[in-house]
Amino acid sequence: MEGIKEFINAICRPAPFLVLAIVALGLFLALYRKLTKPAAAAVLGGGFTLFFLLSCLDPNFQKIVAKADNVPIVMMMFAIGYFLWLSFRQAALNDAAIEAGQPLREAGSDDKVLVWPDLVYSEFISLILFTAFLTVWAIVLRAPLEQPADPNVAPNPAKAPWYFLGLQEMLVYFDPWLAGVLLPGLIIVGLVAIPYIDTNPRGNGYYTFKERRFAITMFLAGFVILWVVLIIFGTFLRGPNWNFFGPYEYWDMHKPMALLNTEFHDLFWTGLLGRALPTEGRGPIPAYLIREAPGIALLGAYFILGPLILRVLFFRKLAAKMGLIRYSVMVMLLLVMLLMPIKMVLRWTINLHYIVGITEWSLNV
Amino acid sequence: MSVGSWIREGQIWGSIFRHGVPRDRRTRAMAVLSNVFLHLHPVAVRKSGIRLSFTWCMGGLTFFLFLVEIVTGVLLMFYYRPTVEYAYFDIQGLRAHVTLGLLRELHRWGAHAMIITIWLHMLRVFLTGSYKPPREFNWSVGVILLVLTLLLSFTGYLLPWDQLAMWAITVGSNMARATPFLGNEGPGAAFIQIGGVPLVHAGDDARFGLLAGTFVGPNALLRFYVLHCVFIPIVVTVLLAVHFWRVRKDGGISGPL
Ligand code: HEM
């Protein structure tokens, strides 16, 4: 038993956890027709539930999932699992129907029913059931109220509200101007842009995966992995000092943390060229810009050559269909999104701190 | 004549509901058309659109939770004063002395639930491709609603004025310090200066604007209270009107063409 717990604690570390989540999503998307069959889904859902319930026997696990404010996150986990199943099940049925030349599940768009009673009644029933659910929840679980606010006593860990914990997790890898300002801003811009950059006319108004593989995969990568999984991670697996703690591990205030960071400029100047960091400016160019030039060039190449390479390798047809502006916006958003896992992997593997570190301007990436 | 039909055929009933009992097509259509609340709906809808497995009723539940928040929120306002002296103890008193003290629970769990349902609503709209023409604009309206819902929740988080509240908001609002150009620790802020005198510092940057101070104190509490109880709800209400109106104008719940 302890051995199993140790093992699970170990695979819940940031790197394996994220890799496992990505693999799980990938498998789900690759095998969605098989995995959403009721029997398979029941085994998966039941298995996870059983695992979760058994885990609740562990005092450390129980302490963190039963915390009043964390209960909604547990609900969200199950809800998102269920609704992903529900939608991909319908997508699988529709995709099979399309292949067989049969009508979609949502077909018959001319069959109209009256709002009173058909819609009004089902709205009313949903409303009653949900009220009952919310009332029971409110009776069973008290809203938390801790000690009065005290600006001199900071709790450890100090966590943002749960729905922002994905962003707080990003703070491990990026400076606040990125994790707290630019990335959230780009998430909003990116969401608003979706309808204008997705020019695929198919899959409008019905569940399908086959006809929209790229769009759906990207959206789920963002929503499920980079948003929801990171929230779950930040809530359940980050403890004092924002240190990692396995699900069955005690939140020890004094867990030591390894802090050995590598800067990209050190890798380049010292590691690659075997020289000291440049300390002299050249004419109007200050020394720190010369020091960071390799990092700037690398990022520049990522955002300038990236779109071109992607276009040649993968997006030839897509780019032609989308036109220059749409393609550029789409690929920029995609590259920003990919920068997150890239930076995470660089941190885990070579402990990279900043790619570009112009600390003189607080401009660090 | 039964009591029921006596009431339903009397003048009072007839003056409120200007149609007979909704039994046939005409009166059922009238039931929707002549009611300001129900006429958010069209008279008839596509059969596939109202199947629970299609919409999951998630937009509807989000709206319902918004209403729950308004009702419980107004009741909470009767008991709560947004000042550092009273805020915490008002909440404590509410929990100890008020009959049916479930208010706060309903309000807090309702808010959490609303965030989950709005995400699920977005997921369903995405997976059914319902943001595609002609519904692009309504998706954008939805994204703004999503942002506002998160802000509603964020501003409300501070109001109990306990440790959880203060420090969660401290962590969150510290980000504003790093806003490019506008935050005093943000990239580029050092360039905003006149004759060598920097213009952006802790006393006037983006974070200061958010908190009305350099720390989470009484001004921040008041500011968050007003945003939470008045300003954001009004904006959300207006945008919801646009959102629902557009659902109808864009041809109702989406379906295969
Ligand atoms: C306060 C938040 C919101 C409320 C109360 C709300 C409510 C609703 C309702 C009641 C519907 C009718 C169909 C349904 O129930 O699914 C709807 C449709 C729609 N919503 Fe929302 N919504 C909200 C936020 C959002 C968000 C965040 C998005 C997307 C980012 C969005 C995009 C849409 C679109 C595109 C439709 C049309 C869907 C179709 O025709 O199938 N809404 N909304």
Q: Is B20 in the same domain as B73?
A: no
What's the ipTM?
0.94
Give the pLDDT of residue A110.
Answer: 67
| A124 is a domain residue | no
Binding site membership of B138 for ligand 1 (Cβ less than 6 Å): yes
Is residue A345 less than 8 Å (CB to CB) from chain B?
no
Domain assignment present for residue A96? The answer is yes
The residue out of A211, A242, A273 marking a domain boundary is A242
A111 lies in some domain: no
Assess if residue A120 is contained within a domain: no
In a domain, A257, yes or no: no
List of chain B residues with pLDDT < 70: 100
Greatest Cα pair distance, chain B, in angstroms, is 90
Those residues with Cβ within 8 angstroms of residue A253's Cβ, 6 or more apart along the chain or in another chain = A156, A240, A241
User: Is residue A180 domain-shared with residue A84, that is, in the same domain?
Assistant: yes
Residues A349 and A293 placed together within one structural domain of the fold:
yes
Query: In chain B, whose CA is at the least distance from the CA of A223?
Result: B123
Q: How many CB pairs under 8 A join A and B?
A: 276
CB of A72 less than 8 A from some CB of B: yes
**Token digits of residue A341:** 């896992």
B114 and B237 both lie in a single domain: yes
Structural domain that includes position B125: 49-249
- Residue B48: predicted pLDDT: 79
Supply the pTM of this predicted model.
0.94
Residues B153 and B206 in one domain: yes
Judge whether B53 is closer than 8 Å to chain A, CB to CB: yes
Q: Please judge whether A134 and B113 are an interchain contact, meaning their C-beta atoms are less than 8 angstroms apart.
A: yes
Cβ contact B171–A168 (<8 Å): yes
pLDDT at position A259 is: 66
B220 inside 8 A of chain A by CB: no
Q: Give SS3 for B123.
A: helix
Total of domains in chain A: 2
* Of residues A198, A204, A358, nearest to B254 (C-beta): A204
Q: Please count the structural domains in chain B.
A: 2
Q: What is the pLDDT of residue A51?
A: 94
Within this chain, do residues A279 and A203 fall inside the same structural domain, yes or no? no
Instruction: Confirm whether B257 is domain-assigned.
Output: no
Residue B7 sits in the same domain as residue B68: no
The answer to whether residue A6 is domain-embedded is: yes
Query: SS3 for B46?
Result: strand
Are the CB atoms for A264 and A355 separated by under 8 Å? yes
Residues A164 and A281 in one domain: no
Q: Token pair 């620790």 is at which residue? A: B185
Q: Are residues A174 and A31 in the same domain?
A: yes
**B163–A155 C-beta distance less than 8 A:** yes
| Averaged pLDDT, groups of 10, chain A, 365 residues long | 89 92 97 96 96 93 91 95 97 96 82 84 91 93 91 90 93 93 96 96 95 96 96 93 89 74 88 88 89 94 94 92 93 96 91 88 87
8 Å CB contact of B175 and A179: yes
The residues near A141 (Cβ < 8 Å, ≥ 6 apart) are A68, A71, B105, B109
* 8 Å CB contact between B12 and B22: no
Q: Is residue B181 part of a domain?
A: yes
- The number of residues making up chain B comes to 257
Is A186:B143 a contact under the CB 8 Å cutoff?
Answer: no
Q: A147 in a domain, yes or no?
A: no
Q: Give the Å distance between the CA of B156 and the centre of ligand 1.
A: 23
Distance CA B75, CA B104 (A): 9
Tell me whether residues A204 and B188 touch, CB distance under 8 A: no
Q: Nearest CA to CA, how far is B18 from chain A (Å)? A: 15
Nearest CA in chain B to A206: B128
Rounded Cα–Cα distance for residues A303 and A306 (Å)? 5
Q: State the pairing for strand pair B193-194/B44-46.
A: unpaired
Which domain does A337 fall in, by range?
A: 264-364
**Does the residue A334 lie in any domain?**
yes
Residues A75 and A193 in one domain: yes
Are residues B177 and B184 in contact, defined by beta-carbon separation less than 8 angstroms?
yes
Closest Cα in chain B, distance from residue A117 (Å): 7
Cα dihedral sign, B121-B122-B123-B126: positive
